[in-house]
Chains A and B, each alone.
Chain A
Amino acid sequence: MRHSTRIAVGPVQFRIGSDWAEPIAALEHLYAGYPQDDTRPAEATVRLFAARPWRRWLRPSVHIGGDFVVPDALPLPLSMGLLAAEMGMNLQVALGWRRHMLLHASAVAQGGRALIMSGESGSGKSTLAALLGEKEGGGDWRLMGDEFTLIDPAGGDAFAFPRAVSLKNEAIAEVAARVDPSRLGPLLAATPKGDIRHLIPRADAIAAMHEPARPALLLFPRFGGEVAVEPMGEGEAFVRLTEASTNYVALGEAGFAALTRLVRETPAFTISYPDSAAGIALVEQIWAEAAK
């Protein structure tokens, strides 16, 4: 790889290599405020490589590679190099990480206690976490991550994975209105996932990224419809979280023990909300009333 960089997000040290300079420069901008420790060995490797050597010059197209490769991963045009790097980082963590149970969930923390939100793409879990993490005055939330939450199988604590937040479509304007423009990456328009713009988490969230938080509330948000809250039983929460975990099966009994403990010790609810403001208000109300 002609260009490369190292990025530490939570406990994961990435090495990212690219045939082109642009994606590396974009990553170095987004992750400039993250702690650097180049002496640590890399735990996950992402390579952005040219499909054919000559394509680098003729019709540049980024392929994602690394320790694990999805055979049908879409080649993305070079302008999407940043998105390709993000997808590659997610992929390596989702498939390769074994030290924690990995939940496809966003999380924010307050006073050492974590609110974990799990849901499909489009549920609003990323936007809710990003907005809570930017909330001024009232709340004092620390963004732990918009995509993955790590659970320590031994102790049950949640650990942060605060990669740059991937804002999509309507969420871009909503968040851009509240933050300093220097914390936003370039607009990636019309990607296979829609419009995307990255948000650099607040400096205090990055500085605290190694601090564990005790899971205190599990929410399964659904964007759209009237405001509604339904308590979720332990069994259903267990099933939903096995589906949301990328490495549950690989962890074997340790994953089973971690997940049964999490759903037993943490109150869980599904929530519906029509817009972000209603969602934030609902989340804070449930946190005040039901969080452990």
Chain B
Amino acid sequence: MADRTYRAAPADALRVEPLGELTAIFDRRSMQTHLVVSPMPEILDAMGAEACNATGLAARLAAAFDLDATEDAQPILAERLRELAAMGLVERA
């Protein structure tokens, strides 16, 4: 499957509140509350303002968390990006 490119919601659109193991995210545009667990908040953080695909995201997360970038991260992150897109928290760039 093609490695699609996504862009995270603008920083001022979301209010992100960690609540223990869950993170509550309020989307000011849709007025919806989303409850997510790791690695969703980390993915949104790593995406920042720049569009990226799963391969690029794997590299950013590897750098941020001092991990070895591995090939099997890419399909997992592609799936997480599709889920974030379904929630409206990222969109296709």
Contacts and interface: CB of A to CB of B under 8 A. Distances in A.
Interface of A: 233-236, 238-239, 242, 249, 252-253, 256-257, 260, 263-264
Contact of B24 (A233, A249, A252, A260): A260
B35 interface: yes
Contact of B22 (A235, A257, A264): A235
Contact of B19 (A235, A252, A253): A235
Given A239-B35, A253-B26, A256-B33, A233 B21 contact: yes
Nearest to A264: B19
Interface residues of B, number: 13
A264 B23 CA distance: 12
30 contacts: A233-B19, A233-B21, A234-B19, A234-B20, A234-B22, A235-B20, A235-B21, A235-B22, A235-B23, A235-B24, A235-B35, A238-B22, A238-B24, A238-B35, A242-B33, A249-B31, A252-B31, A253-B15, A253-B26, A253-B28, A253-B31, A256-B15, A256-B17, A256-B24, A256-B26, A257-B15, A260-B17, A260-B24, A263-B19, A264-B19
Nearest to A232: B20
Interface string B10-43: 0000010101111110101001010100000000
A252 B28 CA distance: 8
B52 to A, nearest CB: 28
A254 to B, nearest CB: 10
A194 B22 CA distance: 39
Contacts of A235: 19-24, 35
Main secondary structure of the interface of B (DSSP, over half): strand
B15 A233 contact: no
B19 A238 contact: yes
Nearest to A251: B31
Contacts of A257: 15
Contacts of B21: 233, 235
Nearest to A235: B22
Given A238-B24, A256-B24, A260-B17, 6 more contacts: A233-B19, A234-B20, A235-B35, A238-B22, A256-B15, A257-B15
Contacts of B19: 233-235, 238, 260, 263-264
